[in-house]
Amino acid sequence: MTDELWYKNAVIYSLDLETFMDANGDGIGDFEGLCDRLHYLHALGVDTIWLAPFQPTPNKDNGYDVQDYYGVDPRHGSNGDFVSFMHQAKKLGIKVIIDLVVNHTSDQHPWFKNARSSKDAPYRNWYVWADKRPSNWDEGMVFPGVQKATWTKDKQTGAYYHHRFYPHQPDLNTHNPEVRKEIRKIMGYWLQLGVSGFRVDAVPFILEMPQPGKKNPVMKFEYLEEMRNFLQWRSGDAVLLGEANVLPEQTKNYFGERAEGIHMMFNFYVNQYSFYTLATGDTAPLIKALEDTRVAPGISQWANFLRNHDELDIDRLPDDLRQRVFEQFGPEPHMQLYDRGIRRRLAPMLGSRAKIELAYSLMFSLPGTPVMRYGDEIGMGDDLDLKERDAVRTPMQWCAEEGAGFSTAPKLVHPVIDKGFYSYQHVNVADQRRDPQSLLNWMTSLIRLRKECPEIGMGNWEILDAGVPTVLAMRYSWKGNAVMMVHNFGDKPVEIKLPATKGASERLDDLMDQDSIEGNSAKKFTIGMTAYGYRWFRVKTL
């Protein structure tokens, strides 16, 4: 059973083909380039790659406007190149999950071209239409401040089509059984080519049935069970990783009462409170967020992350807490986006090696599976001169040569960062690989450490009372083994006392240092913590 739950002790690496590695010199990343860097990911300790969309696309939204679900965009190679990549990944023991973008298609998809040709067209009911402009035509935008509407008039038939995202991304009508059948066919195709699951984009919007003029659409959570059942019949250990930024009380609907929904879900809620704690040092709201999102050990699992390919969304925080995060990490208007987020990479947001290490130590020790973004292992920066989310989508910085080792082309899909502290001349893989004290080598050690602690992914956890408001202490137990992680978010050293559990005589063996801490006569451990310090222990019963 543990092997089938491989995702509980995995380390997932998120990357976008177009900005990772260009092998043919056209300025755009491709599968051949990714194959050339698989040994790097293997050495880093990554065992699962999450690929952003790579299918044929007009590319108006970073590939999330899919034009053909069954192919590879020629910019990235061919279907044969994909199969070759999967073969190489399998040889290295690396699993692959890919984006499943089925809330909407591109307006250039043949289905939509047919649907808009006539009100009687065969694919008309594959999309969501209204004969008159709905009263809520300008409500519910995913990109407020940039997006103008969620219903747009189609000139060919005079009707309005629904789109949660941009107008060039019309929503599929998932309440049409034929659409859901096609979604299963798409899943089956890529499973047959060897993928180990899907990161399901915009899950809530797949489940809703928009009604013109109605604000609260009906949600059909049984569609997740349909997808789950199909997935398990085709590939017993494949997984669904859902993107759903929802409140804690809604999460059970997505996981399912009997774990019949999606296997994993990004914990946006804890992510937002983690950044509040990083900004202020106050752990109380984070502790509450962890308790509010507690999932019993079993099949369901959270996926934890710090930054991803989008903005840092902090919309779930109360106004006063959100303002504290903006003040600390995105104080200038051009750093903010959509009235809810921050469009910066992790390293420039946090500003110091100590805080970066603290943040990643926290993320890797939270209940669930860690997901890291390409380039964060070397502390890549952002380019705020680029529009919207493109600020955090610059090419991977492999070396100090021109083009950052990403490409030899004179013009790149996005410009590399070539100025300032985070330029590729200063921040790159080649230099950090040779430096024993580099962030890259530290991250490699952290990944190895996380894999040595399956208790985090598989076991029960509890918050320990550290008695200091800046300190978070957690203990995990599984199969008679236990580990403990302690983090100090304060800017001053502290000393804390933690209890040995169940009155047992215990010892803490430091997993990052050659140190052990014995319990005293009162069965308490005295632990010293540096400013922004973190410590991982294995608990030994004497």
Tens-level pLDDT at each residue, the chain (542 residues): 456 799 999 999 999 999 999 999 999 999 999 999 999 999 999 999 999 999 999 999 999 999 999 999 999 999 999 999 999 999 999 999 999 999 999 999 999 999 999 999 999 999 999 999 999 898 888 888 888 999 999 999 999 999 999 999 999 999 999 999 999 999 999 999 999 999 999 999 999 988 887 778 889 999 999 999 999 999 989 999 999 999 999 999 999 999 999 999 999 999 999 999 999 999 999 999 999 999 988 899 999 999 999 999 999 999 999 999 999 999 999 999 988 999 999 999 999 999 999 999 999 999 999 999 999 999 999 999 999 999 999 999 999 999 999 999 999 999 999 999 999 999 999 999 999 999 999 999 999 999 999 999 999 999 999 999 999 999 999 999 999 999 999 999 999 999 877 656 789 999 999 889 887 766 789 999 999 999 999 999 87
* Alpha-carbon torsion, ordered 360, 366, 368, 374, to 10 deg: -10
439 phi and psi, to 5 degrees?
-60, -35
pLDDT of residue 3: 67
Q: How far is CA 175 from CA 151, 153, 210, 468, 495, in A?
A: 18, 22, 10, 51, 57
Percentage with pLDDT > 70 across the chain: 99
pLDDT tens figures, 23-35: 999 999 999 999 9
CB atoms within 10 A of CB 146: 12
Residues that are catalytic: 201, 243
pLDDT tens figures, 208-250: 988 887 778 889 999 999 999 999 999 989 999 999 999 999 9
Q: Are 343 and 315 in contact (CB under 8 A)?
A: no
pLDDT of residue 2: 55
pLDDT of residue 222: 96
- If we measure between CA atoms, which residue out of 514, 360, 382 comes closest to residue 447? 360
3-state helix/strand/coil string of 269-310: HHHHHHHHHHHHCCCHHHHHHHHHCCCCCCCCEEEEECCCCC
Percentage with pLDDT > 90 across the chain: 90
Quick check: helix, strand or coil at residue 539? Answer: strand
pLDDT tens figures, 372-398: 999 999 999 999 999 999 999 999 999
What single letter denotes the amino acid at residue 328?
Q
pLDDT of residue 521: 64
pLDDT of residue 503: 59
3-state helix/strand/coil string of 15-34: ECHHHHCCCCCCCCCCHHHH
Q: Are 382 and 306 in contact (CB under 8 A)?
A: no
pLDDT of residue 177: 97
CA–CA dist 2, 7 (Å, integer): 10
Tokens matching residue 419: 């100025």
CB atoms within 10 A of CB 504: 13
Quick check: helix, strand or coil at residue 210? Answer: coil
* Burial call 308-327: b when 16+ CB within 10 Å, e when fewer: bbbbbbbebbeeebbebbbe
